[in-house]
Amino acid sequence: MVKVHKEGRRILFVTLLVLLALNLLLSHYNGVNVAFNRVFAGVSVVVFLTLLQFFRSPYRKLLTHEDLLLAPADGKVVVIEEVQETEYFQDARRQISVFMSPINVHITRNPVSGMVKYFKYHPGKYLLAWHPKSSTQNERTTVVVESDAGPLVLFRQIAGAMARRIVWYVNEGDEVSQGEEFGFIKFGSRVDVFVPLDADVKVQLGQKVKGGETVLCQFKG
């Protein structure tokens, strides 16, 4: 079952009203050019359906286990590498990044259960989401959770070239549950996850993943 996400309801309602008004005006004032009116009506339907699929919120049968880290979003794995994380850990971590195309569901989900130890919103640029500097220069949020399994996990919502608004539902001190929504990225773009170097990565570059269902890695016992 698929429903419309709450972040899209107002946008969809306003878009529907505008498209209906434009089509009614064309029908009234441009009655002699029926072919154009029909084309415009068809384009209006396509635009509305495109927005509708973007804000869809499909049912997910969530997989939960404290020693597993789940995909925080739908999309494709575009980065798996060792990096220096400089905002919070100040040391080497394994980065796993999931890129969301415009046709993906853009809900972002908690990859682990635990306590939010750190949260910060960063205004920034709107570089293409796969640009190497997007993780540190684009509009983004950073969340660090002390997972129930023990390790601290950092994850970032990152806006892309199309995105202009990141929404989040968590703050420092919150208890979060694995698989539940922690935010939404409107019209973009990617989520980065930073885990300990000894975490056992379960995905490959280019692999398609589903938020709350696909296992990205497993923590060492």
User: What is the three-state SS of the chain?
Assistant: CEEECHHHHHHHHHHHHHHHHHHHHHHHHCCCCHHHHHHHHHHHHHHHHHHHHHCEEECCCCCCCCCEEECCCCEEEEEEEEEEECCCCCEEEEEEEEECCCCCCCEEECCCCEEEEEEEEECCECCCCCCCCHHHHECEEEEEEEECCCCEEEEEEECCCCCCEEEECCCCCCEECCCCEEEEEECCCEEEEEECCCCEECCCCCCEECCCCCEEEECCC
pTM > 0.85: no
Same domain? For 90 and 143 the reply is yes
User: Is residue 77 situated within a structural domain?
Assistant: yes
Same domain? For 88 and 168 the reply is yes
What are the tens digits of pLDDT across the range 17-57? 999 999 988 888 887 788 888 898 899 899 888 878 777 77
What are the tens digits of pLDDT across the range 66-112? 899 999 999 999 999 999 999 999 999 999 999 988 788 888 999 99
The number of folded domains in the chain is 2
Structural domain boundaries, residue 49: 2-58
Same domain? For 114 and 210 the reply is yes
Same domain? For 182 and 208 the reply is yes
Q: Which residues are catalytic?
A: 189
CA-to-CA distance for 112 and 152, rounded, in angstroms? Answer: 10
